[in-house]
Amino acid sequence: MADPAVSDPAGAVRVPGRDDRRPGRLHPGDPGDGDRGGRAVPDRPALHAAEPARHRVQAEHRRRRQLGRGGLRSRDGAAVRPVAQRVRGEAVPGARTGRRRDAALHRGPRRGQLAAGDAAGPAAVQAALLTDDGNRPQHRRSRVDDADRQRRPHPQPSAAPPPEPAASGRRLRPQRAAGDQDAADLRADDRRQQRRAAAHRLRQGDRRRGRLDRPARRRHRHADDVHARRPPAHRAHRRWRAGPRAHRAGVARVRLDPVIRLLRDLIAIDSVNPSLEAGGAGEAAIAERIAAELHGAGIDVELQDAAPGRPNVVGVIEGRTRGRTLMLCGHTDTVGVAGMTAPFDPLARAGRSYGRGSQDMTRRVAARVDAATAVARRGGLAAGRLVIAAVADEEHASAGAELLAAAHAADGAVVTEPTDLRVAIAHKGFEWVEVRTRGRAAHGSRPADGRDAILHMGRVLARLEAVDAVLQAGAPHPLLGNPSLHASTIHGGQAHSIYPDHCVLHFERRTVTGEPPDAGLNEVQSALAELSRDDADFDAAARQMMTRPPHEIADDHPVCKALGQVLCNRGLDAAPAGMSFWTDAAILGRAGTPAALFGPAGAGLHGPEEYVRIDSVRVCRDVLADLIRTFC
């Protein structure tokens, strides 16, 4: 039985059950407009009454697509003109306002639509711009307001014939019969929505697994401190969504080892000793970096000026109870950089870190400082006292070590010189001697008036060569080997045609324990005395410029035994060794602080290609940290 007609307040007649439907959609029997040819869309009033929010969104998407193709009606029942048939700037009754509306109005005609003004004519434009009561177009209410309000009866529109084909422009599509074809279109549209949703879920799954259009990951050239690894599958999604860029790229960032970070920072700082190289930067900048590292770990820091603008850095960690005092000492100055291309560029290659001071020994401070900061951050010392010192001027006169030894004493000390991860209990000393020969200047064509000081120095060099041969043939020291002597620098003369009136020679004598501190001076003075006896015209003199004694500590000293035990626990060589170079350990030992040597492995000491092995720096740091807890 048919439903009776009901009158609308506006005067229109509606049919219950047919007009209580969703506004803005075509329904069976409604006349259409545009390229849809009056197709009807099957109505599902029961589903619309309780459809979920997702279904309403999908329905809204379909409505927008139909709005672009034409054939819809506004909420007031007036025919809405297709986008392609509206002139620029026209409003769309019941449609969105703002940028989306403007984009729809400014978009050109689509295939199957009329160009603007071709077939619609003024009457169609007027019908599109006016509502059923002749007022201005009504703005569409929000979808939330529509859902909250009770749906009003929709007035039945007046039947109007479809527009005739235009004489020019694009042709409209032929009208199709309403019925099964419309239901098939709706099912096809639903299937397209389902395929889009399935594709979206697939993309989301690929993102969670880290496989969505991702470029090949870079491999780090140096695997010493940074290693590329893929995050676990169950955490990759969180990293892709909110993590840093490295996580979104499928590479988990690995925190750089603090000792390697500090090592690189120290290599990049110029700390050439100004006493060796004119214009050298000195130790001020590197001392500030070390002091900041210690202070950041809560360690008390003190700066001592060994010379103007050349400070020592001394940090102290006090234990909670009384105990032994351990000192970790090293120098911050370096020699010159002649022959090096990038001396302060922290280059890492093949497990090595290159740069001036990486081997001797400014950058070995990194292992000592990081070991101390690790102890401080883990609660400090239970007993005893730790002194961390970075001293200046070791490469020249050891003014920093002299100042440190006068201000601080300890039961044992470790100087972090390069020992290839071995315990060194002895090292050589050195002596610098200057020899000067005097001649008589004269024209080169008058040999009777001149005396050649350079040729006389040649006799001195021959005698010194003989002295060195005797030293090499003698009995070696069990740890240090034989002493040695070599000529360092020589200069003299004025011009090619003048007999030289002077010549100056500097040589170095390396000493071992048991030799006197002035052994080199005594040897050269003996040679000069013999030459003077052989030639009455020979005139020469020698003086000592600097001397530093050799150093040796008993291998059963507590600091040596504790260090050897730590090395044994880690499977390293604990046999005592001796070093051929001189260190500040001799200054500390002479002041009453027994000192051993221990440091990382490397090569290129004072050479143009100096490096340290990065893995040995980490091992050195760990060994020193264990020693602090064991000895104090």
What is the model's pLDDT at position 244? 44
Distance separating alpha carbons of residues 78 and 75, to the nearest angstrom: 8
Q: Are 391 and 312 in contact (CB under 8 A)?
A: yes
Q: Please name which of 184, 197, 165, 393 lies closest in space to residue 277, comparing C-alpha atoms.
A: 393
Q: Are 546 and 432 in contact (CB under 8 A)?
A: yes
**What is the amino acid identity at position 18?**
R
Which residues are CB-contacts of 515 (< 8 A; sequence separation ≥ 6)? Answer: 429, 483, 550
Q: Please name which of 261, 267, 302 lies closest in space to residue 285, comparing C-alpha atoms.
A: 267
Q: Are 500 and 453 in contact (CB under 8 A)?
A: yes
How far is the CA of 74 from the CAs of 23, 77, 80, in angstroms?
8, 5, 6
| The two structure tokens encoding residue 619 | 């091992």
Res 168 pLDDT > 60 = no
Which residues are CB-contacts of 522 (< 8 A; sequence separation ≥ 6)? Answer: 516
Q: Please name which of 359, 352, 366 lies closest in space to residue 417, comparing C-alpha atoms.
A: 359
What is the model's pLDDT at position 68? 56
Describe the crossing of helices 284-296 and 365-377 by its angle, rounded to 10 degrees. Answer: 20
What is the model's pLDDT at position 206? 56
| The two structure tokens encoding residue 550 | 């050799």
Q: Is the dihedral of CA 386, 392, 394, 395 positive or negative?
A: positive
Element (H, E) at 404: helix 399-407
Q: Please name which of 327, 433, 330 lies closest in space to residue 391, comparing C-alpha atoms.
A: 330
Q: Are 356 and 248 in contact (CB under 8 A)?
A: no
0.75 surpassed by pTM: no
Element (H, E) at 481: none
Q: Are 30 and 36 in contact (CB under 8 A)?
A: no
Parallel, antiparallel or unpaired: strands 576-579 and 423-427: parallel
Res 482 pLDDT > 90 = yes
Find the angle CA(409)-CA(412)-CA(418) to the nearest 5 degrees: 110
pLDDT band of 166, cuts 50, 70, 90 = very low
User: What percentage of the chain has pLDDT greater than the value 70?
Assistant: 63
pLDDT band of 180, cuts 50, 70, 90 = low
Q: Which domains does the chain have, with CATH numbers?
A: 17-157 (no CATH), 258-405+574-620 (3.40.630.10), 429-548 (3.30.70.360)
Q: Please name which of 164, 171, 93 lies closest in space to residue 132, comparing C-alpha atoms.
A: 93
| The two structure tokens encoding residue 119 | 């077939």
How far is the CA of 89 from the CAs of 35, 119, 125, in angstroms?
22, 18, 12
| The two structure tokens encoding residue 560 | 């040596």
Distance separating alpha carbons of residues 73 and 78, to the nearest angstrom: 6
What is the model's pLDDT at position 87? 45
pLDDT band of 499, cuts 50, 70, 90 = very high
In 61-106 the beta strands, taken as DSSP E runs, fall at none
> In the chain, count of helices (H) and strands (E)?
17, 19
What is the model's pLDDT at position 621? 95
Give the residue, 271 or 142, on which the prediction is more confident: 271
What is the model's pLDDT at position 51? 52
Q: Are 530 and 540 in contact (CB under 8 A)?
A: no
Res 242 pLDDT > 80 = no
Tens digits of per-residue pLDDT, 538-590?
999 999 999 999 999 999 999 999 999 999 999 999 999 999 999 999 999 99
What is the model's pLDDT at position 454? 97
Res 3 pLDDT > 80 = no
79 DSSP β-pair partners: 73
Q: Are 314 and 389 in contact (CB under 8 A)?
A: yes
What is the model's pLDDT at position 201? 74
Tens digits of per-residue pLDDT, 424-440?
999 999 999 999 999 99
311 DSSP β-pair partners: 305
| The two structure tokens encoding residue 394 | 């070791």
Distance of CA 137 to the CA centre of its chain: 61
Q: Please name which of 78, 60, 74 lies closest in space to residue 24, comparing C-alpha atoms.
A: 74
326 DSSP β-pair partners: 386, 412
| Across 164-178, 307-321, 508-522, least confident range | 164-178
**Rg of the chain, C-alpha, whole Å:** 47
Tens digits of per-residue pLDDT, 602-621?
999 888 999 999 999 999 99
Mean pLDDT of the chain: 76
Neighbours of 606 (CB within 10 A): 13
**What is the amino acid identity at position 529?**
A
Q: DSSP letter string over 267-306?
A: HTS--B-TTTSTT---SHHHHHHHHHHHHHTT-EEEEEEE
